[in-house]
Structure formats: C-alpha cells, structure tokens
Amino acid sequence: MAHKLASSHPAWNKLEQLYESKGKQINLTKAFNEDKKRFSTYSQLWKSEKTDATILLDYSKNLIDAEVLEALVQLAKEAKVQEQVDAMFSGEHINTSEDRSVLHVALRDLPGDFSINEPGVEEVKPELEHMKSFSEAVRSGAWKGYTGKPIKSIVNIGIGGSDLGPVMVTEALKPYAKRDLDAHFVSNIDGTHMAETLKVCDPETTLFIVASKTFTTQETITNATTARDWFLENAKDKAHVAKHFVALSTNVKAATDFGIAKENMFKFWDWVGGRYSLWSAIGLSIALVIGFDNFEQLLHGAHEMDLHYKNAKLEENIPVLLALIGIW
Ligand SMILES: O=P(O)(O)OC[C@H]1O[C@](O)(CO)[C@@H](O)[C@@H]1O
C-alpha cells in the first residue's frame, strides 16, 4: 500500500485553517466554563469484556473542539487508517523500508481471533510454553547454577527495544515482582554500567539474558562478552555457560557462536519490530520478575486492546484518537 504524507490530504489544509482561525486561541478554562459537558463529550470509558479492568481516556484537556476533532477524524479517513489497520492485521508488508509484516498483534492473540497466516505465527505458543517452563524453573529454584545453587539475580543485556520495554513493564508492575530475585538491566556501552552491576552479583547465582533481535548489536555483544568473561573467571569451565546464559534472538547462528546452548534460546521472528518486542521472547525478564501467569495476563490485556483497535470506529478508537490529538 502506497504511503502519502499526511500534509498532502485536504483535511490537513482544513486543520491548518482551523488552527489559524481559532485553534491557537482555544482557552481551556473558557471552554470548560462554556460547555458543562466538555468532560463527558471528550472522554471515553473502555471496559474489558473479560476482566473488571477499565481505562478512562480523558482528552477533554486538549486544545480541541468539535470542529477540530471532526477534521482530525477526516484526516484519518483520507489517510485510509482503517485500511492500513486491516492490512497490518492481515500480514501485509506495511513495514515498507524492510519489506516486512508488522505482527506484534500475533504475539498476544492467544485465543486465535485474527487467523494470521504468516510463517512463525504457529510457533508463538510453543515459544511461550518454553518461556513458561524456564521462568517457573528459575523462580521455583529448580533451575540450579553451576555449583547447585538457585538463581538470585538476573541481568538482561540489551538495548533499545530489547531493553526499554522490559524495563518499563517490570518497573510498572513491581507490586507483582518476586522480591528475592534481583533484576538488572544493562544497556549502556559505558563499561561502568556492567561493572557496577557485576559488583552486586554472584557468578554462582546469576543468570544473564542476552536480548538482541539481530545478535550483532555492538553495545549488547560487548556487554555480553564482558559478562561471559567475568563468569568464566570464576566458573572456569565453558560448559557452565549453559546454566547461566540464555539468548533471546531471531539469529540462532550468532547466539550459538556466542556459546549459548540451543535449549537456552528463545526465539522470535522478523515481523516483531524492535520497539514492540516486549510481547515476544524479549519479555522473558518480565516473566521471570512477575511470573509467567502475570505475563500471560499482560498478553491477554493487550489482545483486548488490539481487538478494540481493529474493530472500533475511528471516532471511538482510543489509539487512533490519541494519535490524532498528537498530530494536532
Ligand atoms: O535487538 P537488537 O537487534 O540488538 O537491536 C537493539 C535496538 O537497536 C535498534 O535496531 C536501533 O536502535 C532498535 O530498533 C533495536 O531495538
């Protein structure tokens, strides 16, 4: 599907005119005083059909009015947003720069609502099973380090999408965390980040998670090599690496060359873009910290929002409204 600049659509000109004629003067105090229903008009309560979860989207405090909102929705129509959404869910290569599908929605479609026909989608559930058995073994203490002790610290080594998503989710869901399992995230190429982390870790009880879609990212491979050298200084025998290093990657060969055992690899697919990868094997650190059952709940919640995004009309579509207001 050909992409056009948003500014090439007639609704863009309309929005520019609206901004000049009144948009830049919209005053929120005045708007609320003049319209007692402003909050209810420009807010939406989303309710889960599966749980008691709700999300209140309050966009009444943005500098918009009915005419601006109508023009924004018109822009979405002219840009064929709905068609693009459908194209994404059907596996079309909407990532035109890499000529790939964009199917993070397949990672959380556990009920199989979307019938996505793309190689790799059938591997999502077996990979989740792998994450489940591994994370439960580590959390329960059944997974032992090279001297027979259970794991006490995990260190996720990754950068960009292979770091930020898990950092954000483990931070946000801290109340669900296993408190006797310390989680560290090392992303910085500055050696201090890894050096300071290793100071508080014990090689006998630390698990390193090398998270890299490509397994070629300089920062990550440098940090992973530092971690492996530190580990081997203590453990001596390379055979022990299998108990302390796992890889999350699409590049099985590079992870094997690094020395990671096949059974310690958690794979994902080229249709998982870096910045959305927390829903894939990249989320292993999340499952370790909050438990696999909670990780699965996270996937279910995201899937419900995917259903809303796919099916709600543009005027009531929470992600679409947020994106449009972001443009304004
Ligand atoms: O997971 P990888 O391949 O190590 O890449 C890490 C990050 O680097 C980038 O490729 C560029 O910043 C991101 O897209 C990605 O999240």
pLDDT in tens, 184-210: 999 998 999 999 999 999 999 999 999
- Provide CB contacts within 8 A for 209, sequence distance 6+: 154, 155, 156, 157, 158, 246, 247, 248, 284, 285, 288
Question: Looking at ligand 1, which residue's alpha carbon is closest to its atom 9?
Answer: 160
What is the pTM for the complete model shown? 0.93
Joined tokens for residue 313: 């009309």
Report H helices in the chain: 10-21, 28-34, 38-41, 66-78, 81-89, 104-107, 124-140, 164-172, 191-199, 218-235, 241-244, 252-258, 284-290, 292-311, 318-327
The string of pLDDT tens digits covering residues 275-296 is: 889 999 999 999 999 999 999 9
d(CA 109, CA 112): 5
Question: Looking at ligand 1, which residue's alpha carbon is closest to its atom 14?
Answer: 274
How many residues in total does the chain contain?
328
Asked if the ipTM is above 0.90, the reply is: yes
Residues lining ligand 1, judged by CB closer than 6 Å? 159-162, 212-214, 217, 220, 274
Tell me what the pLDDT averaged over the chain comes to: 96
pLDDT band at 274 (very low <50, low <70, confident <90, very high): confident
Whose tokens are 């989608």? That residue is: 121
3-state DSSP assignment of residue 217: coil
- What's the pLDDT at 3? 78
pLDDT band at 1 (very low <50, low <70, confident <90, very high): low
**274 C-alpha to ligand 1 centroid (Å):** 6
Q: What is the DSSP letter of 70?
A: H
pLDDT band at 224 (very low <50, low <70, confident <90, very high): very high
- Report the residue among 213, 277, 280 best suited for mutation to probe ligand 1: largest number of ligand atoms under 8 A from its CB: 213
Question: Looking at ligand 1, which residue's alpha carbon is closest to its atom 4?
Answer: 212
